[in-house]
């Protein structure tokens, strides 16, 4: 068993939250697939893993930071790996950007969640100033990436399958939240 989900805590990357019980790839292909692009370039995904990357923006086009982005393996829902938008793995601020690396090859659905009391791991006294300061002031529902149908009024439950392959980055996973100003 291996712990995988990355969280920012006092400026350090911690590994916690999700237990991987399988490192095998997902099952066969589906007809609702979108690779989100694949840059195939060199990256730090490791020799056995892949990654997904993209952006999170509001319906008004504002880049959103401190949004939890989670990849859920379709063949084994115990494989769930997350990251936060707005900060890179080397702790640089990059508005709206996210990357989830260390993903075992397979088929995934990608989900965004606002960090609030609904998220079991959320504890405002334990997170860095980044997450507290950058938490979006807008409300939005948890929402899956819906590929070419991604918009500010898409169905948050609809998703496309994102294929993750070894040593590759599936990019172009660009969310537009279904939000309302608070």
In tens, the pLDDT along 17-45 reads 333 333 333 333 333 444 444 444 444 44
Residue 83 sits in a domain whose CATH number is 2.60.40.1120
Round the average pLDDT of the chain to a whole number and report it. Answer: 74
Q: Total structural domains in the chain?
A: 1
Look at residue 124 and tell me whether its pLDDT is greater than 60: no
Residue 169 β-bridge partners: 51
Domain hosting residue 134, numbered range: 2-181
Residue of 135, 160, 140 whose CA lies nearest to 36: 160
- Rounded to two decimals, what is the model's pTM? 0.69
What is the 8-class DSSP label of residue 106? Answer: E
pLDDT for residue 17: 34
């Amino acid at each position: 068993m291996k712990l995988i989900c990355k969280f920012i805590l006092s400026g350090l990357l911690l590994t916690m939250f999700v237990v991987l019980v399988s490192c095998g790839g997902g099952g066969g292909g589906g007809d609702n697939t979108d690779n989100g692009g694949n840059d195939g370039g060199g990256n730090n995904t490791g020799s056995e893993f892949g990654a997904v990357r993209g952006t999170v923006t509001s319906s008004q086009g504002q880049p959103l930071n401190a949004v939890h982005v989670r990849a859920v393996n379709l063949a084994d829902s115990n494989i769930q790996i997350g990251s936060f938008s707005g900060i890179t793995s080397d702790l640089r601020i990059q508005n709206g950007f996210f990357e989830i690396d260390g993903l075992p090859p397979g088929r995934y659905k990608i989900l965004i969640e606002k960090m609030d009391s609904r998220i079991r791991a959320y504890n405002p006294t334990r997170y860095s100033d980044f997450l507290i300061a950058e938490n979006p002031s807008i409300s939005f529902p948890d929402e899956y990436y819906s590929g070419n149908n991604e918009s500010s009024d898409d169905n948050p439950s609809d998703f496309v399958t994102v294929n993750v392959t070894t040593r590759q980055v599936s990019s172009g996973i660009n969310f537009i939240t279904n939000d309302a100003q608070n």
